[in-house]
Amino acid sequence: MNAIVVNELTKKFGDLIAVDNVSFSVKEGELFGLLGPNGAGKTTIINMLTTLLVPTSGSALIAGFDIRNDPDNVRSNIGIIFQDPSLDIGLTGRENLEFHAMMYNIGAEERRTRIAEVLSVVHLENKADTLVEYYSGGMKRRLEIARGLIHYPRVLFLDEPTLGLDAQTRRSIWDYIRNLNREYKTTVILTTHYMEEADYLCERIAIIDNGKIIALDTPQRLKDEYKSDSVSLTIEGPSDPLLSGLKGKEWVREIAADNGNVLLKVINGEDNIPHLFQIAHATGVVISSVSLHKPSLEDVFIHLTGASIREEDGSKRAGMREKHRRRMMR
Ligand SMILES: Nc1ncnc2c1ncn2[C@@H]1O[C@H](COP(=O)(O)OP(=O)(O)OP(=O)(O)O)[C@@H](O)[C@H]1O
Ligand SMILES: [Mg+2]
């Protein structure tokens, strides 16, 4: 059963097509990521799926309910953590949770139990009665996650859950997200522009650029499909015997040699390095050092779009893409 089914969803703001005919589905219990640079359309997708924004065209089902025809049922089955903080800093953590639980018509006794439970999920029991104004950034984010869980949603939407947090806090938030996905079987869909976040957390990732999904798969398969491993060797003496020994090997994708350095693109680097040594040995070449670089999602993104995801400036990205397109056409 799918928790989310998105069918040809489009959102236009005037002439701008922010989300362009996007289709995907998320299985129940899955941890799914939308990865893309600033302005890719991630928040716009989330806003449509959570019924905050009406699509220009297309449709979606959340927990089996249609976002257009059945928004109330959609809302009661989802939790949302917005990209922009939305806590009341003049209230304590507990009061924020109380208020939210009341909006979901959860009775007083049930509220007490659930608040205690969600506070313990994010380890904020000790801060429950402190004003949110005095929380750190990471604590605020954890409180928002707790708040998103208060009505036991079947599907949790997290828009940039760790934006602007330091590496250590980010990692602890990742652990909370992973735990609640595993222990509570909550389906999680998150957006991020952090490659390592998508790579670490998500079972499958849709890479979004300019409102379109340009790739969708597991992080590992995306890496396997779009990039091979890089192996660089330093050798003693001429490289020609090694190069001829490697010719025609199906696991070698590319070879470049320069002054005692040989750079190879290979499939399954760690499995084939021993073969590489055997061939070197057989051809009388001595390898004095070897290094293996496994592709990252960043490499995949650059491969697909011709630009790094960290480029904040859209016009620069467009320029990079054009350069990349010309390079590919050559
Ligand atoms: N209400 C709106 N009116 C007009 N344009 C909008 C509106 N909301 C978003 N956009 C535009 O739609 C595009 C997608 O924006 P969106 O916020 O969905 O991107 P995003 O992928 O979430 O980016 P970020 O990583 O910066 O959060 C952007 O060009 C943005 O300027
Ligand atoms: Mg956004």
Domains of the chain with CATH codes: 2-223 (3.40.50.300), 228-293 (3.30.70.100), 302-329 (no CATH)
Residues 6+ away with beta carbon under 8 Å from 130: 92, 93
pTM: 0.83
How far apart CA 273 and CA 240 sit, in angstroms, is 18
pLDDT in tens, 51-102: 999 999 999 999 999 999 999 999 999 999 998 888 999 999 999 999 999 9
Which atom of ligand 1 is nearest to 47's Cα? 18
Q: How remote is the CA of residue 190 from the centroid of ligand 2, in Å?
A: 10
> Mean pLDDT lowest for which of 6-20, 94-108, 306-320?
306-320
Specify the higher pLDDT residue, 325 or 113.
113
Which atom of ligand 1 is nearest to 208's Cα? 21
- pLDDT for the residue numbered 195: 87
Q: How remote is the CA of residue 82 from the centroid of ligand 1, in Å?
A: 14
Burial 74-89 (b: 16+ CB within 10 A, else e): bbebbbbbbeeeebee
| Protein residue with least CA distance to atom 3, ligand 1 | 13
- pLDDT for the residue numbered 325: 53
- pLDDT for the residue numbered 313: 46
Residue 160 has pLDDT above 50, yes or no: yes
Q: How remote is the CA of residue 44 from the centroid of ligand 2, in Å?
A: 7
Q: What beta strand segments (E) does the chain contain? A: 2-13, 16-27, 31-35, 57-62, 65-66, 78-81, 155-159, 187-192, 204-209, 212-217, 229-236, 252-258, 261-266, 286-293
How far apart CA 280 and CA 278 sit, in angstroms, is 5
How far apart CA 271 and CA 278 sit, in angstroms, is 12
pLDDT in tens, 72-84: 999 999 999 998 8
Residues 6+ away with beta carbon under 8 Å from 224: none
At residue 310, what are phi and psi to the nearest 5 degrees? -80, -10
Percent of residues, the chain, with pLDDT higher than 90: 68
Q: What is the DSSP letter of 110?
A: H
pLDDT in tens, 250-308: 999 999 998 889 999 998 899 999 999 999 999 999 999 999 998 888 888 888 887 77
pLDDT in tens, 313-327: 445 555 555 555 555
Q: How remote is the CA of residue 284 from the centroid of ligand 1, in Å?
A: 59
Specify the higher pLDDT residue, 15 or 223.
15
Query: Nearest bound ligand to CA 42?
Result: 1
Query: Nearest bound ligand to CA 47?
Result: 1
- pLDDT for the residue numbered 167: 85
| Cβ < 6 A, ligand 1 pocket | 13, 16, 18, 36, 38-44, 83, 193
Looking at residues 141-163, what average pLDDT do you find? 92
How far apart CA 2 and CA 82 sit, in angstroms, is 23
Structure tokens at 185: 């079987």
Which residues are near ligand 2, the ion (C-beta closer than 5 Å)?
A: 42-43, 83
Find the angle CA(172)-CA(136)-CA(162) to the nearest 5 degrees. 45
Residues 6+ away with beta carbon under 8 Å from 172: 138
